[in-house]
């Protein structure tokens, strides 16, 4: 082995997330990776730090009518509407399937439409051995309160966090919506509610119109905008929240390259999620993990742990 190869080999990519050791900080984001099976046909999932599975609710959901997808410059809009088989089927069928293709703790993404539903699903998933972290998506509408999302108001974000923490033993990460006036206020509310960490950001509310039909491209009219275009917004929010909170952050939003991962960590992320990029390049996470050591070498980084929040 030449000295350069040896040098790359000693680059330490591992990070710690609330006591959970990750071989590297790269995590496919929920909703872009299903339950892993489709991507296992492209590469060995065990190279990943972890992955966050498809947002799961109490009942099975079909989701929104199609079209659910719209192309944008440097990104895309989706309005899938939390299609998932429901918590019972996820525990009975999907977790056993995951255990055959991924041999590390997985991140369980939980969604809900009431505080009780969040608590119910988190309590169930908390008992599953394969689950390393519970990630709670609070971008869903609060059905009891006019449909405004839980993540838009500090009080409801706090309430969900408290309810979930009361019934779980595993680390709980609250996944924040960027569609708010003050992301720091929401992040602090979650921290006060006892959250072990935060994931940010979810997709940004967006829209496209088909100029030929003069109607919205998406059947649901609006949807979540993601992809490379949102990276600066995500990075800014991670930076602001990291400065204001003490709990670890999984940075998410527009990450497409190893350099983006490094930049996100410098902003304050301990781990980094890759979302929409997986859908245009199914090898995105593999390529990022493979190029990280060389990028670290170029930038004089020995251990990724050293750069968390240095900016």
Partner 1 sequence: MYKRGIYKIVSNESLTDTVYKMVLEGDTQYITAPGQFVNVELPGKFLRRPISVCDYDDKSVTLIYKVVGEGTEQMAAMKPGTELDVLTGLGNGFAVEPTVSKPLLVGGGVGVPPLYNLAKTLVAAGSIPMVVLGFNTVGEVFYEKEFMALGVRTVVATADGSYGVKGFVTDAIKGEKLEYDYVYSCGPMPMLRALGGMITVPGQFSFEERMGCGFGGCMGCTCKTKNGNKRICKEGPVLRTDEIIW
Residues assigned a catalytic role: 140
Choices 90-98, 129-137, 231-239, 279-287; region in contact with partner 1 by CB under 8 A: 279-287
Of the pair 79, 172, the CB lying nearest partner 1 is at: 79
Cα 304 from Cα 11, distance rounded (Å): 8
Decide: is 194 part of the binding site for partner 1 (CB under 8 A).
Answer: no
Helix (H/G/I), strand (E/B), else coil: 51 = coil
* Site for partner 1, residues 60 to 99, rule: CB under 8 A: 62-63, 66-76, 78, 80, 83
Cβ neighbours of 40 (radius 10 Å): 17
Tell me the DSSP string of 270-286. SEEEE-THHHH-TTHHH
Decide: is 109 part of the binding site for partner 1 (CB under 8 A).
Answer: no
Measured between alpha carbons, how far is residue 270 from residues 46, 122, 232, 307, 309 in Å?
Answer: 19, 23, 17, 9, 8
Decide: is 175 part of the binding site for partner 1 (CB under 8 A).
Answer: no
Decide: is 290 part of the binding site for partner 1 (CB under 8 A).
Answer: no
Cα 239 from Cα 115, distance rounded (Å): 29
Tokens 């997709």 correspond to 203
Cα 231 from Cα 108, distance rounded (Å): 24
Here the tokens at position 80 are 């899938």
Q: How many residues does the chain have?
A: 311
Decide: is 214 part of the binding site for partner 1 (CB under 8 A).
Answer: no
Decide: is 279 part of the binding site for partner 1 (CB under 8 A).
Answer: yes
Which member of 34, 86, 105, 309 binds partner 1 (CB under 8 A)? Answer: 34
Choices 144-152, 277-285, 288-296, 300-308; region in contact with partner 1 by CB under 8 A: 277-285
Decide: is 221 part of the binding site for partner 1 (CB under 8 A).
Answer: no
Strands 26-28 and 271-274: parallel
Which member of 32, 156, 216, 257 binds partner 1 (CB under 8 A)? Answer: 32
Decide: is 286 part of the binding site for partner 1 (CB under 8 A).
Answer: no
Return residues touching partner 1 (CB under 8 A): 31-34, 37-39, 41-42, 54, 62-63, 66-76, 78, 80, 83, 217, 227-228, 276, 278-283
């Amino acid at each position: 082995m030449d000295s350069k190869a040896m040098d790359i080999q000693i680059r330490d990519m591992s990070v710690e997330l609330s006591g959970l050791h990750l071989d590297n900080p790269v995590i496919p984001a929920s909703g872009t990776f299903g339950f892993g099976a489709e991507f296992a046909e492209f590469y060995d999932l065990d190279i990943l730090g972890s992955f966050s599975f498809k947002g799961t609710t109490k009942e099975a959901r079909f989701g929104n009518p199609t079209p659910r997808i719209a192309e944008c410059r440097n990104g895309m809009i989706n309005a899938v509407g939390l299609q998932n088989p429901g918590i019972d089927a996820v525990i009975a069928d999907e977790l056993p399937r995951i255990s055959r293709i991924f041999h590390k703790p997985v991140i369980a993404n939980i969604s809900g439409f009431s505080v009780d539903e969040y608590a119910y699903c988190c309590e169930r998933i908390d008992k599953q051995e394969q689950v390393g972290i519970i990630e709670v998506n609070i971008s869903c509408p609060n059905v009891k309160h006019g449909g405004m999302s839980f993540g838009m108001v500090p009080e409801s974000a706090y309430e969900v966090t408290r309810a979930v923490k009361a019934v779980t033993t595993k680390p709980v990460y609250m996944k924040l919506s960027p569609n708010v006036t003050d992301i720091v206020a929401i992040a602090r509310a979650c921290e006060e509610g006892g959250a072990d960490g935060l994931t940010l950001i979810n997709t940004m509310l967006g829209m496209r119109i088909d100029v030929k039909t003069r109607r919205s491209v998406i059947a649901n009219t609006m949807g979540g905008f993601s992809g490379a275009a949102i990276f600066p917004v995500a990075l800014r929010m991670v930076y602001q929240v990291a400065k204001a909170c003490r709990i670890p952050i999984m940075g998410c939003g527009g990450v497409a390259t190893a350099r983006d991962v490094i930049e996100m960590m410098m902003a304050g992320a301990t781990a980094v999620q890759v979302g929409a990029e997986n859908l245009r390049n199914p090898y995105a996470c593999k390529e990022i993990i493979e190029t990280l050591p060389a990028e670290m070498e170029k930038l004089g980084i020995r251990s990724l742990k050293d750069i968390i929040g240095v900016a």
